[in-house]
């Protein structure tokens, strides 16, 4: 199998699960935090909505130095409504799909670096960065969102199996 085809199929699955989760976002609870060290719900939802767009960043650039002026444009900006979150997700998925469709296995094997202060925090082949820093990371934060949903008495979507609120 060509690696980009695997990632395109994964993108479709992750986009569907992410959409189901964001559709449950209860507006008016952007400031909710289950713990003082937790992210605010609105910011967490904004991260989840935009994260699939990181695939294009990893494919289109050789690195991201988050502390550079250019890196500032990639910092998550809080969104405040379900409509904004869904639009962000749609943009992220479209950008990821475009980048993956033009990628080759050779390009996905080339290194990509995440830097802060000019120092590499993580550097791996693009394929590993997409798998770990996007898909696995997204599952983690989407899981956090389901906890926030439960604590706010919102319905939790069935993602990898049935939930108490939704059957497959």
Q: What is the pLDDT of residue 99?
A: 98
pLDDT tens per residue, range 5-23: 999 999 999 999 999 999 9
pLDDT tens per residue, range 67-109: 887 777 778 889 999 999 999 999 999 999 999 999 999 999 9
pTM of the predicted protein model: 0.94
- Residue 25: C-alpha distances to residues 3, 58, 80, 128, 157 (Å): 33, 28, 10, 30, 11
Largest CA distance in the chain: 47
Confidence of residue 1 (pLDDT cuts 50, 70, 90): low
Residue carrying the six token digits 């990628």? 103
Per DSSP, 134 falls in state: I
Superfamily of domain 3-151: dinb family like domain (1.20.120.450)
**155 close to 165: Cβ distance less than 8 angstroms:** yes
pLDDT tens per residue, range 27-59: 999 999 999 999 999 999 999 999 999 999 999
Q: What is the pLDDT of residue 134?
A: 98
**44 close to 141: Cβ distance less than 8 angstroms:** yes
Q: What is the pLDDT of residue 72?
A: 76
pLDDT tens per residue, range 119-154: 999 999 999 999 999 999 999 999 999 999 999 999
Tokens in use for 45?
A: 């939802």
Extract long-range pairs of 153-162: CB within 8 Å, 24+ residues apart.
Answer: 154/24, 154/25, 154/26, 155/24, 156/24, 157/17, 157/20, 157/21, 157/23, 157/24, 158/20, 159/17, 159/20, 159/21, 160/17
Q: What is the pLDDT of residue 98?
A: 98
């Amino acid at each position: 199998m060509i690696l980009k085809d695997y990632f395109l199929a994964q993108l479709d699955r992750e986009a569907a699960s992410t959409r189901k989760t964001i559709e449950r976002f209860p507006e008016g609870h952007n400031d909710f935090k289950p713990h003082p060290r937790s992210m605010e719900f609105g910011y967490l939802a904004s991260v989840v909505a935009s994260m699939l767009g990181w695939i294009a960043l990893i494919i289109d650039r050789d690195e991201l130095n988050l502390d550079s002026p250019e890196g500032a444009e990639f910092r998550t900006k809080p969104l405040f409504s379900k409509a904004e979150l869904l639009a962000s997700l749609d943009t992220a998925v479209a950008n990821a799909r475009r980048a993956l469709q033009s990628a080759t296995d050779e390009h996905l094997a080339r290194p990509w670096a995440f830097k802060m202060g000019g120092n590499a925090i993580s550097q791996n082949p693009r394929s590993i960065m997409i798998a770990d820093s996007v898909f696995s990371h997204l599952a983690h934060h989407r899981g956090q969102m389901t906890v926030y949903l439960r604590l706010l008495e919102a319905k939790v979507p069935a993602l990898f199996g049935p939930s108490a609120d939704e059957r497959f």
